[in-house]
Structure 1
Amino acid sequence: MNPEESMRTKGSASAHDDAVGAYSKVAAIMAAVVGWAVGIYAGFNLLVPLVATAIVWLVSRKLLSKPKQAVVAPFCVQAGHLVWFVVLTAKGHEVINPNLIDIAWLTIGLTWLWLKPGKLALCVLAVYQLLTLPYNLLQFSETDFGSAANKMLVVHVVWRVLALFYMGRLYYRMSKPKKNVKR
């Protein structure tokens, strides 16, 4: 390869890296704007799952071993959602509550993901999220904009989408063939 081709290759890789960096910045700005808008709209409803997710993230970063660190993002988002369900159920003072199904499924799925991270645990949690997301979207469309129920449903939808995103990303990473490391 002559020096000009070598420079062109390096330049192409650099241009590609610059483009990826620019897309990442745009995505980060868009995420910040959407997060801000959801926070303004949902208000206090966002507090419990957000704080719970942050606390679970901090604790799990310390408790999980290095090989299990990959599950932290999907685990903590759903654990924060689970804490919110528990708080809502306790606040409702009802013995039989529809949230009990959510609490049971998330508890089983998250325990499984914590103890034995793998594709099957991700699939069980993804099925739950994929079954409940359309229901939450339907409820959202049927509630009055600005009502307490509408604001709560926005948070549910955001947490479910985040959970699906992080689980999909982890599933993709688990599906990639491992590179042979030569020593």
Structure 2
Amino acid sequence: MNPEESVRTKRSASASDDTIGTSTKAASVVVALGGWALGMYTGFNLLVPLVASTVVWLAGKRLFSAPKQIMLPAFCVQAGHLVWFVLGMAISRQLLGASLIDIVLLSIGLTWLGMRPGRVALYVLTIYQLLSLPYTLLQFSQTDFGSPQNKVLLVHCIWRCLALFYMVRMYYRMGKPERS
């Protein structure tokens, strides 16, 4: 390789790095602005599952063994959602509400995922989230924009989507499924 080709190769490599860097920076700014807007709109409703997910993440980094670290993001998002359900039920003092179903199913699924991370636990939690998300979206679409219920349901929708994203990610990190 002559020196001119070497310079040209370095220049083309650095040009693509600048493009990637610029698009990454732009995406970061957009995501930051979106997060800020979401936080301003939903207020305290976003804070509870966010803090709960963060606390579970920090505890999970220390408590879960290295092989179980693969399930930590999916576990944390759903555990934060579970804490929010429990807190909401405790504050509202409605112990026999619709949230009880979510609490029971999430508790069972997360216990299963935490003790034996695998595809079956992942499938159960994914099916639960896939069945819950359309119902939550329907409720969200029927509430008035800016109402407290609208803000709560928006956070529920986001947390369910995050849970699905991290479960799909975990599934692919575990490897492709075995063929029968």
TM-score by length of 1: 0.84
**Segment of structure 1 superposing worse, 9-18 or 60-69:** 9-18
State the match for 2:171 in structure 1. Answer: 171
The 1-side partners of 2:102 and 2:6 are apart by 56
Q: What's 1:73 paired with?
A: 73
Aligned to 2:113: 113
Structure 2 unaligned blocks of 5 or more:
none
Aligned-partner Cα distance in 1 for 2:70–2:77: 13
Which position in structure 2 is the counterpart of 1:181? none
Within 5 Å, which residues of 2 pair with 1:21-170? 21-170=21-170
Identical-pair percentage: 60
Structure 1 runs not aligned, ≥5 long: 178-183
Secondary structure of the residue aligned to 2:52 is: helix
Whole-angstrom distance in 1 between the partners of 2:133 and 2:162: 11
Question: What is the TM-score of this pair, normalised by structure 2?
Answer: 0.86
AA partner of residue 154 (structure 1) = L
Task: Report the AA paired with residue 102 of structure 1.
Answer: D
Q: What's the offset of the Cα at 1:7?
A: 7.9
Query: Is the contact made by 2:70 and 2:173 (CA closer than 8 Å) also made in structure 1?
Result: no
Give 1:22 deviation, angstroms.
4.3
How big is the shift at 1:94?
A: 2.1
1:31 is displaced (CA, Å) by 2.1
Residues in 2 aligned to 1:11 and 1:124: alpha-carbon distance in whole angstroms? 50
How many residues were matched structurally?
176
Q: 1:137 to 1:16 in 2, by over 3 A?
A: same
The one-letter code sitting in structure 2 at the alignment partner of 1:127 is I
